[in-house]
Amino acid sequence: MVLPAQIVGNFFLIEGKADRAGTPRFLIDTGSSVNLFSPGMVRRLQGREAPTSSPGVRVAGADGTVLELQRGTLRRLDLGEARFDEIEVLLYDCAALSAHLGVKVDGVLGFPLFRDMILTLDYPGGRLVLQRGQEVPPMVGTVIPFDDARKTPLVTVRLGDRSLVALIDSGSDAWFSLNPVGVAPVYVAGPTVGATVGTISGDHTQKVARLAEDLTLGDQVFQQPIVDLTDELSSIGGAMLRHFVVSFDQRRDRVIFSRGAQGPIVTPPLRSAGVSFSKTPAYWRVAGVVPRSGAEAAGIQRGDLVTRINGEPVSRWDFRRYEKLMAASAELTFSLLNGITEAEKRVRVFDLIP
């Protein structure tokens, strides 16, 4: 079964079955061991919420903050022709994630949901493929075993001559999130404060750097990649995964990376206007400002509301178009709401990490 996918930033999104309320949208998160659904989506799919007196489930976000979420059950979930029955979920308001991406997200589908099938995330082709059955055609690519005890996509990667374990996490938009403890990484740029991104437990401010060594995944080489430093488990994020067709075979405890191009993968410079946003159709709220950036020099502060970019309303700027603008521009003009008037501020775009 094949479903079209939408790659927003570096996140992998698919749509469920449309109904009178519209078409629901879900994020595929191979780094999650649970399914997260908004309470409204659970009711919409005729699911059940556990009594409020029932104990919740503690869930850790990217910054280590722990939330307690209530349980629920979906009677049925349809993804194209695939049907899933009696799905255990946790209730989570996806508003913060939706605001970060600029598109409405109704739920997060975790890795265990696909335990009985081969899950393929085709980033270059923009599609999701599900295969079921004991017999599957041979799969060409870099085959890497993952942790068979916990049924978690944990794989071994190499940084220079050292090995470390990393989670394959399609729910992260980073290149590679690196826990430096015990690895002793060497950097050619950074570390420095990066973007502010939305997570389950709130906003998380990245700390980014470029490694002096190559990162190797099987026979795939990433030349001096940009990394997001973390105190949590190291992980391979969507910025790396989007170079591949990635197939997860949970029956055989393996993942296959397929790529049309040959040779090392090079991480381009990380461009920034020094400001991060949570997005709505009417305005973008400033979620964070990079210290000593042009945005800070222009007086832009957390909580400010941006209504226009280069004179165009923010409703015309989706994630991809804004990224292309930053990659090609030396300067951006933001219109900030000041009472009932707008004030324009010009901000220099720079290489946060060369």
Q: Which residues in the chain are classed under CATH 2.30.42.10?
A: 270-353
Q: Which residues in the chain are classed under CATH 2.40.70.10?
A: 2-132
For 164-183, the pLDDT digits (tens) are 999 999 998 889 999 999 99
For 298-348, the pLDDT digits (tens) are 999 999 999 999 999 998 888 888 888 998 999 999 999 987 888 999 999
- Geometric angle at alpha carbon 258, from 257 and 263, rounded to 5°: 100
- Strand pairing category for 162-168 and 235-236: parallel
Interval 18-38 mean pLDDT: 91
What is the distance between the alpha carbons of residues 267 and 68, in angstroms, rounded to a whole number?
Answer: 37
Report the percentage of the chain scoring pLDDT > 90.
58
Look up the pTM and report it. Answer: 0.90
Residue 198: what pLDDT? 62
- Please report, for residues 102, 274, 283, 310, 335, the alpha-carbon distance to residue 314 in angstroms, rounded to integers and kept in the order given: 10, 17, 6, 9, 10
Report the percentage of the chain scoring pLDDT > 70.
92
Domain 2-132 has CATH 2.40.70.10: yes
For 186-245, the pLDDT digits (tens) are 999 999 998 877 655 556 788 999 999 999 999 999 999 999 999 889 999 999 999 999
Indicate if the pLDDT at residue 102 is higher than 90.
no
Residue 97: what pLDDT? 81
DSSP assignment letter at 82:
E
Q: Centre a 10 Å sphere on the Cβ of residue 125 and count the other Cβ atoms it contains.
A: 13
Which CATH fold topology does 270-353 show?
A: Pdz3 Domain (2.30.42)
For 62-91, the pLDDT digits (tens) are 455 677 889 899 988 999 888 999 999 999
Per the prediction, the chain carries an average pLDDT of 88
